A and B are shown apart, each in its own frame.
Chain A
Amino acid sequence: MKIFVDNKELEISGKRVIIEELREDGYDIPSLCYTPNAKHHTSCMICMVRNEANNQMIPSCSTIPVEGMRIDTSSDDVMTLRRTAIELLLSEHKARCGGCESKAKCRLRDLALRMKAKWTRFAPLPPVEPVVREHVTGRLWFEPAKCIRCGLCVYNSDNGFTFKGRGFGMQVVIPEPSKKNIDERIAELCPTGALYMVS
């Protein structure tokens, strides 16, 4: 299948989602709620690219390309909107980087620094609160304040993590009786420091 990416012609298999096709060809399309080899449902919109046919922003992690599609991955429009997505997520992420044990693995932080996102564009910095954390199983710990509701832990655990509520106040919870269903390595999927393993 032939498509056009940033005005350049590209030959792709046409059987996989756009992000996978593009990453294989060396394009740097970031993502948070999408990780290869894990179940996911579009949430963060970080991976968005512009469909030039109708000017719509589409999530590259769940859109299958069509023949002749024209995609824009790097114009100012796309970059600005991507940065806005990060800034919206930061406004929901109620913890500061200083003192966070997951600084190294946090993909949100990495992306925010790379895109030069403004931390306080949509909300003031969160207060320096005592960290609320919950032991899940083994070396796995959960800090709900850092969750950006990407859903990776929910979709990749069976009768484990689940969503509670809806909309802006929606949370991820792990009921006590379900903790035994969790494999501690799920921390590797979490794009922030919400789920992490202590050494």
Chain B
Amino acid sequence: MDNKEIIYRKTDAIIDRIGSGREQIIPLLQAIQQEFNYLPSDALDRLYERTDIDRAQLISVATFYSQLRMVPYGKHVIKVCIGTACHVKGANNVYDAFRRELKLEGDDITTADGLYSIEKVACLGCCALAPVVQIDEKIFGHVQPGRVREVLDEFEAMMANEGELTADDDGKAVQGEVRLGMENCCQASGTAEVYAAVVEACKDLGIHVRIKPVSCVGTCNQVPLIDVAMPDGNIVRYPNIKPDEVKEILLHHFRPASRLRRLRNAILNQIDTFHTDQTWDNILFIPEKERTQSINNFLDGQFRISTEGYGHLNPLDLDEYISMGGFEALKKALTSMSPQQVIDEVLHSGIRGRGGGGFLTGKKWQLVRDNANLSPQTLTSKPSTLNSLPIIICNGDEGDPGAFMDRILLESYPLRVIEGMMIAAYAVGAAEGIFYIRAEYPQAVIRIRKALDMCRQKGLLGEHIFETDFTFDIRIFEGAGAFVCGEETALIASLEGKRGFPHRRPPYPAQEGLNGRPTLINNVETLSQISYIIRHGADEYAKVGTSGSRGTKVFALAGKVNHGGLIEVPMGTTLRQIVDDIGGGVEGGEKLKAVQIGGPSGGCIPAELCDTGVDFDALNQMGAIMGSGGLVVLGESSCMVDVARYFTNFTCAESCGKCTFCRVGIRRMLDILDRLTTGQAKMEDIDRLEELAQNIKQAAQCGLGKTAPNPVLSTLRYFRHEYEEHVNGICRTGSCKQMVKLEITDDCVGCTKCARSCPSDAIAYTPYEKHVIDTEKCTQCGLCVYECDYQAIKKVKKS
């Protein structure tokens, strides 16, 4: 069989499995790309032959979504995250460093030997570990430009030792439990090695403990973190541990079963204690208070609704979830409340959409139900008109760079989100649900898929749930890479097999959505709050938060903050409390300059206004929006014009292209910002930028375009002086590369470290003499600054 035949055969199998209708185009293309690593033209020809898809639809869709590619990539794909937090920590330098290491020239993205391809991605959702790089499925955090070779070596070593992460359950009596978070970002910090060390230590020491993967604690920069749970209920927490500390810790808490083992361990331990360097750094010698103080500060100001059970619930243990009250809310709704009563309760609670829009959730549910023409008691509409069958979609297309809340909620608390979705479905009369999860979150897709299977097996999905007339099931759709598809009408377009063009509202999706049906679209976090509302009642929920913004909000705290991570706080908590009390203050002791909130649709709240509580309306008044929950802390070393340019660049690349003011307008704003950040702008450019930004706000056609000018307008409002400085050729933070140069000061002792580390040969090798940087060759990668022990290299204004 020749190559073409093989491609035809495999494509046929895919078509048989998925379907041949036009609306199946995205899953079909994703499956073809999964099989062949790209979309071969032969496979596409087969689609034209055997499905309803035609050339026009195929080109339109395949070229719209970032995930899909028509050219093959190398065997392994390196994705360098350029999300907000990563950008602020120098992601571009990391990207350049990889290119240099892989010897990629010009526009090449694949190495000559076909082993690696490299691309920049909008956001991997591991912001607290910035800068982040993903190679195939493996995540690497805190990647520095000088470390890229190490990362590649580590990856190649991992490839050689692929093993399943399971502990042996030999049925012996369990002395206690060791809990560790196993989310994507934890793995990037080495939790897998710790897990392996625990398994090995247990075997070695003859100890029997249960190892339990638990949901995210949120303390991203203190991982690997383990909790040792004793049978008496006592829990001891060890943050930031290394694999070689595991043995000590376990021995401290658990005695090996056999006497001989105990003796042997005692002797070996004594020898270790006196003969190794690590004696005085031993983690067990640090008093517990000191060890866990910053974590306790981090956790104290939080209130857990969406993340209830953090650190002790196993994400995929259905029985445990039920024993902790899981699905109680669903049962209560199905057996003792009418659908209309459920809506009333949710409306009464005051909960507003957590995806960024802030629309009253209960009101949206009511709209959908009304449009489905259902009486207050009826479960689902009669199938007389297919078009009136409501459907519910969980929007997991979290695209804001710098946001990873929804990813954690899907990975750590999948059952809670499913329960919320089911309650919503009951309320509006839907029998079908869809999880729309972005392609960049493969782990979330896997967990949700497993969770759905478990629910089906237990009869929690399907027909006659809890022995009532309620029938419901959920399928998964993976987004194909388009930020605009977070917008409801664009999301629906992609589900219908089209390019993600939003359309005018009205009609709203609640009236006419997917295939004309009343469609309820709710964000992941919104749904994760529902079970609490039903279980404890709307009044209890309304006690938390402010009068205009009830409940809690999950935030992804990242950027220049000491303790970044995932947090859940009551609405009304101030930004200052979040940055200082919970986050431990600005990194490096810098003064706080601003907090960027709301991602590319949001704005910057300057430090002097950070005593504002997080509240939908308060933030709107300050020129920002709550957004989905990304919070990026900016210090004195962050350039506000660069931040504005960064977000404008993002929205420009993600614009769908349909309407003039967004497609062309944002690009023209970017042109001005490019001039500003390269020292080529004139004073009138600032006014032009402001005017254009206001025009786009008025005349763009969807949420993406309308809010894209927000970062520009808010930085102009509070930091106009920085724009003016840039016009005068000054970037005081040195972030705008073309406006500064690196210079070696008189503190130089001539040690040649910088010359040796420079990848562009921009520093002549002159031992014992002050070194000089050739500005023409210098790419400002920062490696010399990193290497210099005398702080003798500084950024100065380029004349």
| Residues in chain A within 8 A of chain B (CB atoms) | 41-45, 48, 55-57, 59, 62-64, 81, 84-85, 88-89, 91-92, 122-123, 149, 151, 154, 157-168, 170, 173, 175, 177-178
Contacts and interface: CB of A to CB of B under 8 A. Distances in A.
A56 B656 contact: no
Given A42-B701, A81-B699, A168-B664, A163 B659 contact: no
Contact of B56 (A44, A88, A159): A159
B562 to A, nearest CB: 37
A175 B54 CA distance: 11
Contact of A159 (B54, B482, B655): B54
Contacts of A84: 692, 695, 699
A167 B654 contact: yes
Nearest to B700: A45
Contacts of B655: 166-168
B272 to A, nearest CB: 60
Contact of B663 (A160, A164, A168): A168
Contacts of B555: none
B95 interface: no
Interface of B: 54-57, 59-60, 63-64, 482, 499-501, 503-504, 506, 652-661, 663-668, 671, 692, 695, 698-699, 701
A55 B652 CA distance: 25
Most buried by A among B482, B659, B671, B695: B659
Contact of B60 (A41, A45, A163): A163
25 contacts: A42-B503, A44-B660, A45-B660, A45-B661, A48-B699, A62-B504, A63-B504, A81-B699, A85-B661, A88-B661, A88-B664, A92-B664, A122-B671, A158-B56, A159-B57, A162-B55, A162-B59, A163-B59, A163-B64, A166-B656, A166-B657, A167-B655, A168-B666, A173-B59, A175-B55
B663 A149 contact: yes
A10 to B, nearest CB: 21
A14 B224 CA distance: 64
A91 B657 contact: no
A177 B660 contact: no
A48 to B, nearest CB: 6
Which of A57, A123, A161 is most buried by chain B, counting CB atoms within 10 A of its CB?
A57
Contacts of B504: 42, 59, 62-63
Contacts of B482: 166
Contacts of A59: 504, 701
B657 A57 contact: no
Interface centre among A122, A151, A158, A161 (most CB of B within 10 A): A122
A48 B138 CA distance: 49
Contacts of B658: 41-43, 149, 151
B262 to A, nearest CB: 66
Contacts of A63: 504
Given A43-B658, A44-B660, A164 B59 contact: yes
A56 B63 CA distance: 32
B699 A122 contact: no
A114 B579 CA distance: 55
A161 B56 contact: yes
Contacts of A91: 664, 668
A56 B698 contact: yes
A85 B671 CA distance: 17
Contacts of A163: 59-60, 63-64, 499, 657
A48 B699 CA distance: 8
Contacts of A167: 652-657, 663, 667
A122 B701 contact: no
